[in-house]
Structure 1
Amino acid sequence: MAKSLLLISRQAPWSGPGAREALDIVLAGGAFDLPIGLLFLDDGVFQLTSGQNAKAVQQKDLSANLQALPMFGVDDLFVCSDSAAERGVAIDTLALADMKALSAPQIAALIDRYDQVITL
Structure 2
Amino acid sequence: MTRKTLIIVRHPPHGSSWAREGIEAVLVGGALGVPVDVLFDGDGIFCLLPGQEAGALGQKGTLPMLKAFPMYDIDTVLVSRPALEARGLKADALAIDGDVVEPRDCLAHYHSILTF
Q: TM-score by structure 2 length? A: 0.92
Measure how far apart 1:61 and its partner are. 1.4
User: Which segments of structure 1 move beyond 3 Å, counting only runs of 4 or more?
Assistant: none
Which residue identity is paired with 2:44? G
1:109 aligns with 2:102: no
8 Å CA contact 2:53–2:60 kept in 1: the answer is: no
8 Å CA contact 1:48–1:96 kept in 2: the answer is: yes
Measure how far apart 1:4 and its partner are. 1.3
Measure how far apart 1:18 and its partner are. 0.5
Which residue identity is paired with 1:73? D
Measure how far apart 1:57 and its partner are. 4.2
Percent of paired sites with the same residue: 33
Measure how far apart 1:53 and its partner are. 3.1
Measure how far apart 1:58 and its partner are. 1.6
Q: Indicate the residue corresponding to 2:32 in structure 1.
A: 32
- For structure 1, the residue ranges without an aligned partner over 5 or more in a row are none
Label 1:8 to 1:48 Cα distance change in 2 as closer, same or farther (>3 A).
same
Aligned length: 115
- Once the two structures are superposed, the pairs formed by residues 1-120 of structure 1 within 5 Å of their partners are 3-54=3-54, 56-97=56-97, 99-103=98-102, 107-120=103-116
Q: Distance in 2 between matches of 1:111 and 1:8?
A: 10
Measure how far apart 1:15 and its partner are. 2.5
Measure how far apart 1:108 and its partner are. 2.0
Q: Distance in 1 between matches of 2:81 and 2:15?
A: 21
Measure how far apart 1:65 and its partner are. 0.3
8 Å CA contact 2:78–2:101 kept in 1: the answer is: yes
- For structure 2, the residue ranges without an aligned partner over 5 or more in a row are none
8 Å CA contact 2:52–2:62 kept in 1: the answer is: no
Which residue identity is paired with 2:3? K
